[in-house]
Amino acid sequence: MRKILIPLTVICMMASCTTQEKKIKSMNPFLEAYTTPFEVPPFDKILNAHYLPAFEEGIKQHNAEIKSITDNLAAPDFENTIEALDGSGALLGRVNHVFSNLKEALSNDSLREIARKLAPILSQHSDAVNLNAKLFARVKQVYENKSALKLNGEQSKLLDDTYKHFVRGGANLTVEQKKQLKQVNEELSLLDLKFGDNMLAETNAFKMVVDKKEDLEGLSENVIAGAVEDAKEAHLDGKWVFTLQKPSWIPFVTYAKNRSLREKLYKAMYSRSNNGNEHDNKSVIVKLVNLRLKKANIMGFDSWSAYVLDDCMAKTPANVYKLLHEIWTPAINRAKEEAKDIQAMIEKEGGKFKLESWDWWYYSEKVRKEKYDLDEEQMRPYFELNHVRDGAFYVANKLYGLTFSRLIDMPLYHPECEVYEVKDVDGTAKGILYMDFFPRASKKGGAWMTNFRDQSVTKSGKDIRPVISVTCNFSKPTGEKPALLSFDEVETLFHEFGHSLHGLLSKCHYQGLSGTNVARDFVELPSQVMEHWASEPEVMKVYAKHYSTGAVIPQELVDKVVKAGKFNQGFATVEYLAAAILDMDYHTITQSGDFDVEKFEINSMNKAGLMNEIIPRYKSTYFAHIFSGGGEYSSGYYSYLWAQVLDTDTFQAFKEAGDIFDPKVATSFKTNVLERGGTEDAMTLYVKFRGKEPSTDPLLKSRGLK
C-alpha cells in the first residue's frame, strides 16, 4: 500500500532522462515479466542503473492502481477496495524486494547513493497512500459494514489489518498533523540509512594487524588460516589480520592468550560508531529517538514504545518490562555465580587482575573445559557447513516432508549463493530458497531471512510460491579446509532456516498476511523453535560428521554438548536482557530534548542492575536492530525472549509426545502456525496449536535458571 501522487522529485527525474537512461529503461528487466527459471529475479541482467527507473515506473503504476480504487463509482466492498489494495503495487514491491535485499547483502557506493535518493521518495509515496482521504473513506466504509459482508476468517483479518494500518499511518489526523507526520517520516528514513552506513563503514575500517606469531598462541589452525586470508585481502602478506566480523573477533577473544590484544579487539567491537569521527552515531541516535517520540505524540501516544506495542502481542510497555524483569533476577543471580567461577579460574592461573568484560569469553571457555571437558574447537571439525545445512534440511523433511534439490545455472546476485527448489511430500512446489553464507565487505553483519517474492493466491486461483533468501556471516573456508562452524553458527543457521520455513510453508490467500507478515513478537517463534533440533543428539548424529574422515560425532562428545547446554546461560541471558531494556528505555522517553547517549546508556544499565563484567549484547551506537533497517525491532528487541517463551513451550509439546519428530504435533504446528501467516491473532493461532497459552517455566528450565 503506497502513494497516490508522483512526488515532484520523481517527475523531475523522469523529465530529465537522457537518451542513455531511456535506453536503460527500455531494457529494464524489472519492467517485463521474468523469463528465468521459477521466475526468480534475473540478477545477471540487473544493473544499478535499472533501479531508479524501475522505482519510478512502480510508483507510477501503483498511483494508477490506487486511483482506480478511489475513482470506482461502485459502492466500496471487500473485493473492489480491500482486496484490490492488497494486490496493488506489484511492480513496486518486486523491485523493492530485490533492491532492499541487495543493499544489505551486496552493497556498494552506488547502491547506497540510490538508497539515499529513494528514502524520501518512498517515504512520500507511502504517506500519500496512508493519508489518502478518499482511499481511507472507502476502507472505513467497508470496515464499518463488516458484519454484513459474510467474510471468511482470512478476509476478516485482512480487513481489520488494513483499517488499522491506515489509522496507524495517520489517516485520522488533522491536515496540520499529516503535514508534520510526512516530514518526520522522511527525516526518519534518511537517519535510518545514515546509522547503517556509519556502522558498516566502522566495521570495515578496523583491522587489528598481528605481526608476531607468539601473539597467536591459543588460536586454532582454522582461525589462524582465516587471519592469513584476511591479511592477504588487505595486502599484508606475512601478517595476520583480525576484523570486527564475528567469525574473526569471537574466536580471538575466546581463545587468544594475549590479554591486551583481546582487550584491543573487544573494545574496537563495542566502540563502533562511537569514536567522534564522521561515522559516529550518537547524534543520529538522539535525532532518531526524538523524531520517533514526535511521531508517537502526533499519533496520540505518550511514547514510541506505546505506539509500536499497540500492534504487537505484548500490547503495552508495562507488559514488556514485566517479562524482562521476571527473567532478569534469576539470570543476574546466575551470571554472578558464573563470574565467581571465572574469577577463581583467573586466580588459579596466576592472574592478579579483576575480571573485565573482555575477559569473560576467554575464561568462561576455560571454565567450560574444566567443568565439562568440552572445548568449542573440539566440535568445529564436526560442523562442516554443508553437513549442517543438510541437517537442517533433514529436520524439515522429518517434520514436514519437505525436500530440497540444489539448482545449478540459476541467476545469482553473488557467486557464493546457493539455490534450492523446495517441494512438498507429494512433489508439489513450495518455493525457491537462496542461501548466502559468508561475510564480505559489501555485506552488513549478522544473519537474516527475507523474501524476493511473497506467497499469495491470484484472483484466478493460481498459487504464487515464494522466493526466500537466507543471508549469514559464517566462518569461511580456509586453505584446503571447508567452512567449519562454531556451535553458535550452527544454531544461527537453524534459526534463519526456521524463518525460511515460515515463508515456504505459507498457505495464505493475501500477500499482506502471508509468511512472516505477523506480529513482531510472534515472528521469531518459527525460527527459534528450530534451534532446539540443532542440539538434539538424534539430529546431531545425522549432520555432525568430521569434515575429513566422515566419522559421526562421538557419543561422548554429544553427551558433553548436552551436559554443557546450560553453561554460561546467566551471561547470555543478561547481555540479551540488557540490550532489550536499553531499547525499551530509549523508547519509553516521554519528553523530547538533547541527551548524552553514553550517559543515557550508563544510567539505563545502572538502573537495571547490570554488573560491570557484562556489557549489553548491543551497545547503542551499533544497535542496528533498533536504529537501522527501518527500526524494525525498535521497542521490539524483547521479542526474541517473548518468542522464546513460545518456542520452549512448543518444543515441550514434542517432548511430552515422546518423539521430537512426532507427526501429530508437527502437523498441528505446521497447519496452525507455519501455514497461517498472520491470518488470525497470534495468540489464537498458538492456542489452536498448543491447546493453551504458554508458560515461562520451560524457558527458565531450558536456560538453567530454574
Q: How far is CA 347 from CA 111, 164, 281, 364, in A?
A: 52, 59, 39, 13
Given this model, what pLDDT does residue 699 score?
Answer: 85
- Give the separation between CA 22 and CA 28, rounded to whole angstroms: 10
CA nearest 243: which of 251, 254, 235? 251
- All three cell numbers of 77, joined, read 466492498
Q: Is the pLDDT of residue 25 over 90?
A: no
- Give the separation between CA 55 and CA 526, rounded to whole angstroms: 32
Task: Collect all residues with Cβ–Cβ distance below 8 Å to 370 and sequence separation of at least 6.
Answer: 345
Q: Are 504 and 468 in contact (CB under 8 A)?
A: yes
Q: Is the pLDDT of residue 457 over 80?
A: yes
Instruction: Note the pLDDT tens digit of each residue in 579-594.
Output: 999 999 999 999 999 9
Given this model, what pLDDT does residue 10 score?
Answer: 34
Output 286-290 pairs: Cβ under 8 A, ≥24 positions apart. 286/594, 286/595, 286/597, 287/187, 287/191, 288/188, 288/191, 288/192, 288/195, 288/627, 288/631, 289/586, 289/587, 289/589, 290/592, 290/593
Task: Collect all residues with Cβ–Cβ distance below 8 Å to 547 and sequence separation of at least 6.
Answer: 381, 382, 384, 387, 481, 482, 484
Given this model, what pLDDT does residue 703 score?
Answer: 84
Question: What integer is the mean pLDDT of 596-605?
Answer: 98
SS3 annotation, 402-469: CEEEECCCCCCCCCCCEEEEEECCCCCEEEEEEEECCCCCCCCCCCEEEEEECCEECCCCCEECCEEE
Q: Is the pLDDT of residue 422 over 80?
A: yes
**pTM (two decimals):** 0.90
- Give the separation between CA 383 and CA 17, rounded to whole angstroms: 52
CA pseudo-torsion sign 84, 85, 86, 87: positive
Question: What integer is the mean pLDDT of 238-257?
Answer: 95
Q: pLDDT grade, residue 39 (50/70/90)?
A: very high
Q: How far is CA 583 from CA 81, 605, 618, in A?
A: 38, 11, 10
- Give the separation between CA 51 and CA 103, rounded to whole angstroms: 11
Give the percent of the chain with pLDDT over 70: 96
Q: pLDDT grade, residue 12 (50/70/90)?
A: very low
CA nearest 252: which of 202, 204, 200, 210? 210
Q: Which single residue is written with the C-alpha cell 532489550?
A: 580
Given this model, what pLDDT does residue 19 score?
Answer: 52
Question: What integer is the mean pLDDT of 47-68?
Answer: 97
Span of 261-275, 410-424, 473-487, 665-679 with lowest mean pLDDT: 473-487
Instruction: Note the pLDDT tens digit of each residue in 512-528.
Output: 999 999 998 999 999 99
Q: Is the pLDDT of residue 561 over 50?
A: yes
| CA-based end-to-end distance of the chain | 46
- All three cell numbers of 182, joined, read 510526512
Instruction: Note the pLDDT tens digit of each residue in 78-109.
Output: 999 999 999 999 999 999 999 999 999 999 99
Given this model, what pLDDT does residue 631 score?
Answer: 83
Q: Are 466 and 503 in contact (CB under 8 A)?
A: yes
Given this model, what pLDDT does residue 3 score?
Answer: 24
CA nearest 207: which of 170, 239, 175? 239
Given this model, what pLDDT does residue 265 score?
Answer: 98
Domains defined along the chain, listed by start: 8-172 (1.10.1370.40), 206-270 (no CATH), 380-563 (1.10.1370.40)
Instruction: Note the pLDDT tens digit of each residue in 458-506.
Output: 989 999 999 999 999 999 998 889 999 999 999 999 999 999 999 999 9
The CA radius of gyration of the chain, in Å to the nearest whole number, is 26
- Give the separation between CA 257 and CA 176, rounded to whole angstroms: 62
Given this model, what pLDDT does residue 20 score?
Answer: 52
Q: Are 381 and 371 in contact (CB under 8 A)?
A: no
Instruction: Note the pLDDT tens digit of each residue in 192-206.
Output: 999 999 999 999 999
* DSSP conformation letters of 361-416: HHHHHHHHHHHH---HHHHGGGBBHHHHHHHHHHHHHHHH--EEEE--S---SSTT
Given this model, what pLDDT does residue 696 score?
Answer: 83
Of 496, 524, 531, 680, which residue is the catalytic one? 496
- Give the separation between CA 402 and CA 430, rounded to whole angstroms: 8
CA nearest 194: which of 286, 261, 268? 286
Q: pLDDT grade, residue 22 (50/70/90)?
A: low
Burial of 144 (C-beta count, 10 Å sphere; 0-12/13-18/19+): exposed
Given this model, what pLDDT does residue 706 score?
Answer: 76
Q: Are 378 and 479 in contact (CB under 8 A)?
A: no
- Give the separation between CA 307 and CA 293, rounded to whole angstroms: 9
Given this model, what pLDDT does residue 419 score?
Answer: 98
Q: What is the mean pLDDT of the chain?
A: 93
- Residue 472 has a CB neighbour count (10 Å cut-off) of 24
- Give the separation between CA 38 and CA 354, rounded to whole angstroms: 59
- Residue 168 has a CB neighbour count (10 Å cut-off) of 15
Instruction: Note the pLDDT tens digit of each residue in 114-143.
Output: 999 999 999 999 999 999 999 999 999 999
The larger pLDDT score, comparing residue 562 to residue 1, is at 562
- Residue 354 has a CB neighbour count (10 Å cut-off) of 10
CA nearest 385: which of 396, 374, 393, 395? 393
3-state helix, strand, coil split of the chain in percent (to 5) is 60, 5, 35
Q: Is the pLDDT of residue 21 over 60?
A: no
377 is catalytic: no
